[in-house]
Structure 1
Amino acid sequence: MLFNSYAFIFFFFPIVLVGFFLIGKRNARAAAGFLALASLFFYGWWSVQALPLLLGSICFNYWAGLRLTPGPGRTDTGRKRMLVFALVVNLGVLAVFKYANFFVANVNDGLLAAGYSPISMLHIALPIGISFYTFTQIAFLVDCWQGKVHERSFVHYVLFVTYFPHLIAGPVLHHAQMMPQFANPATYRVDYDKVALGLAIFVFGLAKKLLIGDPMGEYADLMFNGVHNGMTPTMGTAWVGVLAYTLQIYFDFSGYSDMAVGLSLCLGVQLPLNFNSPYKSTNIIEFWRRWHISLSTFLRDYLYVPLGGNRKGPARRYLNLFLTMLLGGLWHGAAWTFVIWGALHGFFLMVNHLWNAKVRRNAKPGRLARLLGWLLTFVCVMIAWVVFRAESMHAATTIYQAMLGLHGTSDSVFSELGAVPYRKNDFFHTLLVGLFICLVMPPTITLQRWVPQLQALAGRPRLAWVFTALMAAFTVYLLGVCVSKLGSYSPFLYFQF
């Protein structure tokens, strides 16, 4: 069930919202159980076959978490062994379902090159959301081992893992962010201000996805799929196609993040900020503090720091950065293109940190330096998106060659792709609007504050009311436009990860 579908908007979410608060008036624990069951139904809508794996993962990790928590009769050595065992089980399950066929395919390449018969592929379907709920629970296990977890309610734990606004595509949640909210009785009492604000944020996210992300995706697919099928793009077509994908993934993921926060806010629960105008970044370090913030935080806390972080000298620090991003790339998908994407960002981060240490030395950059830094960062991100989106390294290489002008130039962008002529104007208008929003406009949410509000009106209630009414009318209009675009199957890009 997609957030951008009739079934979700007009049936599932209204029923869950009303049911949650009606039950919450009588029994908060029962309301939490209802929301957990609704989340399992939401997940099962995608694949009933994947539900047993999710439930098994929840039961195993809850059991392991109980035994990892410091207590009488539990030695540090025994708890550490349990932690290693639980991590091996989680990562092993993830490896089997996500990387087994990737491993077999690479082994087969070696066998065929040596003249041997290939191994049969396992044909294992990738359960949707497995990376997100596995990482969420790994963080929970480590925190249990460190003695940071005190909430022991199984119902709340099930809700923490399965909570439908984040289950499929994040953010990667931390128990300390969610468990206190599920235990707070105020969460189960309807707050109409939060509901109104949450619905507005949801509509803005929906508009990002349907009105900008999806149209950009149509043109990006023309170029990337064309290259995969043997087409050789010219320079203009390659750059515009890559720019289209750069905006598609931005508005697709930003839209999902807004929708998740908005839906959760309607239910009285605040999700952590996961997206903060990353294309405004003036360096790669800043980019990764703004893009997929929860994943970046997870990789820092549970991979980079355990590897040694910056505690073992500059050379080891750069190596740890590179390895962290390499594994972060592999987390996104079982393909060498994702590994190379992670390696590129690891290299970019190494260069950025080296520049800060050896050249800039904490000097505050001027306006021109910030502008050049932004341009370099944006181009580097675009270059990395090529290998992230391409179907193969051969396709990525072809696109890189085209971007360098090795396949000629074209005055009529997309003419070689067979795009409908009158839609080109729509594309470029949407492109300009998208660039304006992601480079000039403030983010929809900043630290749980909705941005479209004027601080100057704080002391003028009448004008503030007029502004609120206008924003409400605009939100309703925007929802109507979005509903008119519903109907076609358009999953979010991060669902595949």
Structure 2
Amino acid sequence: MLFNSPEFIFLFLPIALLIFFQLAKRGDRRMAIAWLVAVSLFFYAKTNPTSLLLLISSIGFNYGVGSALKDQLLFDRWKVNLSRKWLLTIGIAVNLIVLGYFKYANFFITTVNQLSQTSFNFEQVFFPLAISFFTFQQIAYLVDVYRGETKEESFLNYLLFVSFFPKLIAGPIVRHQDMMPQFEERSNYRFSQENLIVGMTIFAVGFFKKAIFANSMAVLANPVFDLAAQGVSLTFFEVWVGALAYTLQLYFDFSGYSDMAIGIARMFGILLPLNFDSPYKALNISDFWRRWHITLSNFLRDYIYIPLGGNRKGNLRRYFNLMLTMLLGGLWHGAGWNFVIWGGLHGAYLVTHRQWQLFRKSLGQDLQKSSWWSRWLARIVTFFAVVLSWIFFRAENMKAVSVMLAGGIGFNGFSLPPFLSARLSFMQNLGIKFDGFMPNLQTNPWYAISGICFLLAIVWVFPNTQEWMAQYNPALDYQPTKVSHPFWQKLQWQPNIVFGILFGGMIFFCCKTFLEATPSDFIYFNF
């Protein structure tokens, strides 16, 4: 079941909300929680029925390990000669082994066969939906229990923590101490008109991002990458149209899902953490990772980078920790060498950025001061470094990567639109052609370019969802920033008829769009 499907919007979600608040109104909070667990498991089973047993087994195992970690008496009662540290290690190892088997077994066997020229046969392993998300979330829970930062007495509550349907499939990755205390507050069991309206608005923005912006960019990106996978030579402009379109598709698809998840949870009175904060406005690659997939970045920082030593053991060790963390982050996204290279590329970006900072400090420059033009230059350089990395992320194989890079660098030549030939004919002497501008693109080139420019203006200039909704606490621990230009301050969301008509129109337009076509999956369902 998809967030952007009619059955979810018009049937599943209203029923889930209505019965939850009816049960809560009667004063039976456990029944209300049990109802949320039931609809969450139904939601998961409806989306991916073959994985439900794995999800429940994972929840049962990790709840048991977590209970043992916080109850030293259990060790004594059963005369188990096992330290808490070893129990934590076993718990994490089991989670990683299960994740590795289902997500990486096929990749491992294929790689071994390619390297050793063998032909080991291995039955194709199905990929359980959301396994990366619920595995990482539960590893974080075990570590937090071990550290004494959280605990859970109730199995029913733990079921809800892992399976709560707004964030189950593709995050955000939440920590137990961030979400579950909210379910202890009595006020969250009373229906709130403000929560409903704010939640519906955030959901509408996310829905619009997915249905209109992301899907329109997919029409441009998919044909280019499909042709690259087939080995078809691509022109300079085709490559960059495809790469930029995918850059925008990925952002609007995933941030749209995150907004929809935050909006749905808000309708139930629950605040989920922010996952995106205008990442393409980042001034450097470190800033980008503070804004992109924030909950995953926080997980990698808190549970991999810092335990490895972080930046406490000198620059060389810091660079090693950065590279290893990003390589693991790349591998988390998918079983393929392109994801490993993508992670390694970002690790190299982070190391280079750190070296650049040290160089500037050695020149006596103040890193906190900069001019407007240098900030925009830094933003553009960071953006195109990220675009380059998305080519590795999206390409189906390394052959497709080489085709994209060759075309993007200009190895297949340059070609400009024919109508420019009269004014720029002298450029023919430089090898520039005026035919075959975008021969493989299946849509009007000017429609493609104008659409990309329009969405770039949105991600670079417009306020994001949280800035629009800043007055209404749109996400957990969100710290509102002042929107600099007075014009944007006037556009901050208010519960009035103007914004009601605007967002009602957005929902209607999205509904009309997906009723005319089959709702598409979210990209991060693959990870």
> TM-score range, shorter-chain basis?
over 0.9
Q: CA deviation at 1:178?
A: 0.6
Take 2:47 and 2:185, find their aligned partners in 1: how far apart are those partners? 31
Partner residue, 1:427: 448
Partner residue, 1:477: 505
Partner residue, 1:391: 396
Q: CA deviation at 1:185?
A: 1.7
Are the counterparts in 2 of residues 102 and 334 from structure 1 also a CA contact under 8 Å?
A: yes
Take 1:493 and 1:370, find their aligned partners in 2: how far apart are those partners? 31
Are the counterparts in 1 of residues 224 and 441 from structure 2 also a CA contact under 8 Å?
A: no
Q: CA deviation at 1:298?
A: 0.1
Partner residue, 1:175: 176
The number of aligned residues is 487
Are the counterparts in 2 of residues 69 and 149 from structure 1 also a CA contact under 8 Å?
A: no
Partner residue, 1:145: 146
Alignment of 1:131-142 (within 5 A): 131-142=132-143
Partner residue, 2:249: 248
Partner residue, 2:440: 417
Decide whether aligned partners of structure 1 residues 192 and 346 sit closer, same or farther in structure 2, where only a CA change above 3 A counts.
same
Q: CA deviation at 1:357?
A: 2.1
Amino acid at match of 2:359: K
Are the counterparts in 2 of residues 321 and 350 from structure 1 also a CA contact under 8 Å?
A: yes
Decide whether aligned partners of structure 1 residues 414 and 207 sit closer, same or farther in structure 2, where only a CA change above 3 A counts.
farther
Q: Deviations over 1:73-121 (max 9, x none)?
A: 7599611111011011000000000000000001111232xxx4x0112
Decide whether aligned partners of structure 1 residues 90 and 362 sit closer, same or farther in structure 2, where only a CA change above 3 A counts.
farther
Are the counterparts in 1 of residues 59 and 159 from structure 2 also a CA contact under 8 Å?
A: yes
Take 2:492 and 2:411, find their aligned partners in 1: how far apart are those partners? 56
Q: CA deviation at 1:29?
A: 1.1
Partner residue, 1:65: 66
Take 1:4 and 1:414, find their aligned partners in 2: how far apart are those partners? 36
Check if 1:24 corresponds to 2:24: yes
Partner residue, 1:233: 234
Are the counterparts in 1 of residues 237 and 408 from structure 2 also a CA contact under 8 Å?
A: yes
Decide whether aligned partners of structure 1 residues 14 and 134 sit closer, same or farther in structure 2, where only a CA change above 3 A counts.
same
Are the counterparts in 2 of residues 100 and 122 from structure 1 also a CA contact under 8 Å?
A: no
Are the counterparts in 1 of residues 213 and 249 from structure 2 also a CA contact under 8 Å?
A: yes
Q: CA deviation at 1:439?
A: 0.6
Partner residue, 2:377: 372
Take 1:438 and 1:194, find their aligned partners in 2: how far apart are those partners? 27
Identity of aligned residues (%): 43
Q: Tell me the SS of whatever aligns to 2:83.
A: helix
Decide whether aligned partners of structure 1 residues 106 and 150 sit closer, same or farther in structure 2, where only a CA change above 3 A counts.
closer
Take 2:128 and 2:94, find their aligned partners in 1: how far apart are those partners? 16
Amino acid at match of 1:432: C
Partner residue, 1:107: 112
TM-score normalised according to structure 2 size: 0.88
Higher mean C-alpha deviation, range 95-104 or range 426-435: 426-435
Decide whether aligned partners of structure 1 residues 452 and 441 sit closer, same or farther in structure 2, where only a CA change above 3 A counts.
farther
Take 1:454 and 1:401, find their aligned partners in 2: how far apart are those partners? 41
Are the counterparts in 2 of residues 151 and 179 from structure 1 also a CA contact under 8 Å?
A: no
Amino acid at match of 1:210: A
Q: CA deviation at 1:278?
A: 0.1
Q: CA deviation at 1:122?
A: 2.5
Amino acid at match of 1:440: V
Amino acid at match of 1:492: F
Partner residue, 2:199: 198
Take 2:162 and 2:205, find their aligned partners in 1: how far apart are those partners? 26
Higher mean C-alpha deviation, range 356-365 or range 27-36: 356-365
Decide whether aligned partners of structure 1 residues 391 and 314 sit closer, same or farther in structure 2, where only a CA change above 3 A counts.
same
Take 2:294 and 2:391, find their aligned partners in 1: how far apart are those partners? 22
Q: Tell me the SS of whatever aligns to 1:445.
A: helix
Picking from 412, 417, 422, the partner of 1:407 is 412
Q: Deviations over 1:347-394 (max 9, x none)?
A: 000011111123246532222221221111001000000000001111
Q: CA deviation at 1:145?
A: 0.6
Take 1:399 and 1:465, find their aligned partners in 2: how far apart are those partners? 41
Are the counterparts in 1 of residues 66 and 151 from structure 2 also a CA contact under 8 Å?
A: no
Check if 1:488 corresponds to 2:518: yes
Amino acid at match of 2:13: F
Q: CA deviation at 1:488?
A: 1.2
Amino acid at match of 1:215: S
Q: CA deviation at 1:430?
A: 2.8
Q: CA deviation at 1:46?
A: 1.7
Amino acid at match of 1:351: T
Picking from 64, 81, 84, the partner of 2:86 is 81
Are the counterparts in 2 of residues 444 and 452 from structure 1 also a CA contact under 8 Å?
A: no
Higher mean C-alpha deviation, range 229-238 or range 271-280: 229-238
Gaps of 5+ in 2: 418-435, 475-479
Amino acid at match of 1:445: Q
Take 1:464 and 1:101, find their aligned partners in 2: how far apart are those partners? 49
Check if 1:92 corresponds to 2:115: no
Partner residue, 1:438: 459
Are the counterparts in 1 of residues 327 and 344 from structure 2 also a CA contact under 8 Å?
A: yes
Check if 1:272 corresponds to 2:293: no
Are the counterparts in 1 of residues 235 and 438 from structure 2 also a CA contact under 8 Å?
A: no
Take 1:68 and 1:128, find their aligned partners in 2: how far apart are those partners? 28
Take 1:178 and 1:58, find their aligned partners in 2: how far apart are those partners? 17
Amino acid at match of 1:10: F
Partner residue, 1:281: 282
Q: Tell me the SS of whatever aligns to 1:312.
A: coil
Are the counterparts in 2 of residues 165 and 264 from structure 1 also a CA contact under 8 Å?
A: yes
Alignment of 1:263-342 (within 5 A): 263-342=264-343
Are the counterparts in 2 of residues 325 and 342 from structure 1 also a CA contact under 8 Å?
A: yes
Are the counterparts in 2 of residues 219 and 241 from structure 1 also a CA contact under 8 Å?
A: yes
Take 2:275 and 2:442, find their aligned partners in 1: how far apart are those partners? 35
Q: Deviations over 1:253-301 (max 9, x none)?
A: 1111111111110111000011000000010000000000000000000
Q: CA deviation at 1:72?
A: 4.1
Take 1:403 and 1:394, find their aligned partners in 2: how far apart are those partners? 14
Decide whether aligned partners of structure 1 residues 153 and 383 sit closer, same or farther in structure 2, where only a CA change above 3 A counts.
same
Decide whether aligned partners of structure 1 residues 464 and 122 sit closer, same or farther in structure 2, where only a CA change above 3 A counts.
closer
Are the counterparts in 2 of residues 212 and 430 from structure 1 also a CA contact under 8 Å?
A: no
Q: CA deviation at 1:426?
A: 4.1
Q: CA RMSD in A?
A: 2.4
